[in-house]
Structure 1
Amino acid sequence: MKSKEVVEMFDLSIDTLRYYERVGVIPPVGRDKNGYRNYTKGDLNWIFLAKSLRRAGLSVESLIKFATLAQMHKDSDVKKGQKKILHDQLQEIDEKLKEMNEVRDLLQYKIDTYDEHIAQFQSGERTEETAEELWNIKDFKKK
């Protein structure tokens, strides 16, 4: 597959694709007899993985390390190193998801109770002094 098809397939710029190869985010891409890059299924998998991991927040440096390890002899230390990079990223994403879900629950709680709270403030039933303490609510789903 040629570069133009790859950039269309993965919605990347040609500059990003070249950059990934130049800095080692993806392994070197083979070339045809005319010197044009010829992307294989393996190359496409690397590009997809790199784009996905970048979207998830993995640093370019970590991607370079991961790709470099992949090009080394596949001893157990290399495999462990690659797996650790992936595991660390998964753990980081899980933490971000937990935080996002907590904020989502807070937003849902505020939406669900909005009319009731406004009515209580307008009627005088609630004031600034008697307002709930959001920071002390441990689980917005139970409210």
Structure 2
Amino acid sequence: MRMAEVSARYDLSQDTLRYYERIGLIPSVNRNNSGIREFTEDNLRWVEFIKCMRYAGLPIEALIEYVNLCQQGDHTTEARKELLIEQREQLRLRIDEMTRTLERLDSKIENYGQNLHLKEQELYKPQELEE
């Protein structure tokens, strides 16, 4: 699959894909005789994994480390698992913080609604007295 197709399929810019390849997040992208990149199914699995992990907020550095460990072979399985566990914990902490932020926003929005209702009541009272 060519770069434009991968870009469209995963909704990533071609610049982003080139960057991921350059820093080693997408290992071994083949090129045809004309120098055009041809992504294999294995490359696509990496793109999908990286996109998912980036969406979850994992830093590029952690992903580079993970890919490097994968390329070193099966003896790095435990290190890879530990890296993923650590990143999962970081994600949980961010989710907790985002949940607290969401609750605070919900409370502020609710207060705006209540305060607006009170202000409207104050505005309408003088009109009611005039009638």
Class of the TM-score when normalised by the shorter of the 2 chains: 0.7 to 0.9
Distance 1:37 1:114 in 2: 54
TM-score, scaled relative to structure 2: 0.76
TM-score normalised by length of structure 1 = 0.71
Question: Distance between the aligned counterparts of 1:80 and 1:99, measured in 2?
Answer: 29
Output the amino acid matched with 2:71: Q
1:54-93 matches, within 5 Å, as: 54-75=54-75, 78-93=76-91
Aligned residue for 2:101? Answer: 103
Does the 8 Å CA contact 1:26/1:64 hold for their aligned counterparts? Answer: no
CA-to-aligned-CA distance 1:46-86 (integer Å, 9 cap, x gap): 011112222322222211111111111212xx111211222
2:47 corresponds to: 47
CA distance in 2 between counterparts of 1:17 and 1:113 reads 45
Inter-partner Cα distance in structure 2 for 1:70 and 1:90: 18
Identity of counterpart residues, as a percentage? 37
Q: Deviations over 1:10-30 (max 9, x none)?
A: 122222211211111121113
Please state whether the residue corresponding to 1:52 is helix, strand or coil: helix
Deviation of 1:39 (Å): 1.4
Q: What is the CA distance between 1:35 and its match in structure 2?
A: 4.3
How many Å separate the matches in 2 of 1:15 and 1:116?
48
Could you tell me which amino acid in structure 1 is paired with residue 55 of structure 2? R
Give a deviation string over 1:88-132, Cα, whole Å, max 9, x none: 221111111111111211222233344445639x98xxxxxxxxx
What are structure 2's unaligned runs of at least 5 residues? 123-131
Change (3 A) 1:96 1:32: same
Q: Which moved more, 1:25-34 or 1:9-18?
A: 25-34
- State the Cα distance separating 1:40 from its structure 2 match: 1.8
1:7/1:14 contact within 8 Å kept = yes
